[in-house]
């Protein structure tokens, strides 16, 4: 699939005020793309646009709640009005809820689905007509390793990520059947150090985190930039994510047994108290933190060899070929 170089693209980043989205917007702009950033909070959006422009880049901001289709469509329309086209749509916006299923209310579960699943659906619906008009482009959807293996205390979140897998698979095949050179990529990160956990709703009594290891957001952003130019089907970010998905493929019952142990539950607990009525961003925008990194920088891995190899296929093939040739040579020598 031959997509435009990033420097020739107009890229929309949904969820661009903090975390992975903020760093994505900055990196797209650094490489010459014109960027449209969107989120619910105006202050965070203004700051990222100011930062891009201060570095000599081009960017505009459009506030939107991804759970409302008209708002999402307005973001796509703004890209066309400002820059005349839309090449890449990166959908990152999402919310979290950490609670047992029994403690989750119908309204909370529905809201997670509305933002994390329907928001992604609305993004693809809004972007596709404009990308088709260009004749090629990329839809980059940030999912999770939770799309392949659900985690306790995250039932609504993992359900929403499983749903993303379903609609992307169907849409991808439809576009291929029609002959469109449009990349549809699902990016599935492991636990990532962003303000997501600071803003999430929790009923655990403490600020939550997801099971380790934790990776730096830059690893995910490099996968996003790769997807915008190459359009791969799936990109798993972090060797831990690959291991979890592989374990689910080989033996779901074994993973069930492992997760039934206390460690799978205790891994969500930090030592920082956070009452159930503390501010969160589930239903409303939350002021700050509009940073790229979250509270776990001291234990976040800045690199992932596994992910680097996925985005550098030529090197990966060379390593595999070298290993095979080496094994053949050793066997002949032994013979």
Q: Per DSSP, what are the bridge partners of residue 97?
A: 201
Q: Can you tell me the distance from the alpha carbon of 186 to that of 208, in angstroms, rounded to the nearest whole number?
A: 25
Q: Which residues contact 256 (CB under 8 A, 6 or more apart)?
A: none
Say if residues 76 and 86 touch (Cβ distance below 8 Å): yes
Choosing from 83, 122, 157, 215, the catalytic residue is 157
Closest among 303, 297, 231, 296 to 270, alpha carbons compared: 296
Q: Which residues contact 64 (CB under 8 A, 6 or more apart)?
A: 14, 38, 39, 40, 71, 72, 74, 75
Give the three-state DSSP class for 68: coil
- Using alpha carbons, list the distances in angstroms from residue 283 to 17, 66, 117, 134, 200: 17, 11, 15, 35, 10
Give the three-state DSSP class for 184: strand
Say if residues 233 and 185 touch (Cβ distance below 8 Å): yes
241: preceding bond cis by omega (within 30 degrees): no
Residue 215 annotated in active site? no
Q: Can you tell me the distance from the alpha carbon of 89 to that of 36, in angstroms, rounded to the nearest whole number?
A: 10
Task: Scan for tokens 């980059």, then name that residue.
Answer: 140
Treating both helix axes as pointing N-terminal to C-terminal, what angle do 19-30 and 42-54 enclose, rounded to 10 degrees?
Answer: 20
Q: Is 277 exposed, middle or buried (0-12, 13-18, 19+ CB in 10 A)?
A: exposed
Q: Can you tell me the distance from the alpha carbon of 58 to that of 49, in angstroms, rounded to the nearest whole number?
A: 8
**DSSP label at 311?**
T
Residues that are catalytic: 157
């Amino acid at each position: 699939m031959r997509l435009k170089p990033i420097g020739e693209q107009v890229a929309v980043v949904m969820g661009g005020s903090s975390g992975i989205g903020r760093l994505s917007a900055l990196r797209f702009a650094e490489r010459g793309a014109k960027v449209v950033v969107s989120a619910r909070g105006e202050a965070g959006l203004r700051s990222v646009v100011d930062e891009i422009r201060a570095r000599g880049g081009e960017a505009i901001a459009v506030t939107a709640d991804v759970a409302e289709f008209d708002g999402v469509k307005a973001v796509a329309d703004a890209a066309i009005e400002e820059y005349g086209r839309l090449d890449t749509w990166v959908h990152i916006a999402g919310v979290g809820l950490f609670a047992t299923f029994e403690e989750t209310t119908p309204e909370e579960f529905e809201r997670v689905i509305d933002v994390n699943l329907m928001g992604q659906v609305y993004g693809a619906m809004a972007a596709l007509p404009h990308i088709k008009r260009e004749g090629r482009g990329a839809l980059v959807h940030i999912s999770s390793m939770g799309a392949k293996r659900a985690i306790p205390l995250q039932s609504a979140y993992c359900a929403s990520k499983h749903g993303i897998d379903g609609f992307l698979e169907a849409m991808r095949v439809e576009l291929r059947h029609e002959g469109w050179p449009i990349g549809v990529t699902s990016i599935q990160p492991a636990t990532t150090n962003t303000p997501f956990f600071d803003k999430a709703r929790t009923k655990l009594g403490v600020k939550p985190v997801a099971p380790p290891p934790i990776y730096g957001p830059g690893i995910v952003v490099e996968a996003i930039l790769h997807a915008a130019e190459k359009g791969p089907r799936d990109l798993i970010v972090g060797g831990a994510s690959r291991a979890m998905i592989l374990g689910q493929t080989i033996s779901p019952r074994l993973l069930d047994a492992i997760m039934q142990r206390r460690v799978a539950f205790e891994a969500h607990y930090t030592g920082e108290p956070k009452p159930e009525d503390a501010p969160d961003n589930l239903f409303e925008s939350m002021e700050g933190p509009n940073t790229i990194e979250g509270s776990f920088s001291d234990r976040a891995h800045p690199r992932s060899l596994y992910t680097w190899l996925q985005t550098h296929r030529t090197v990966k093939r060379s390593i595999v070929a070298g290993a095979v040739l080496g094994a053949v040579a050793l066997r002949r020598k032994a013979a």
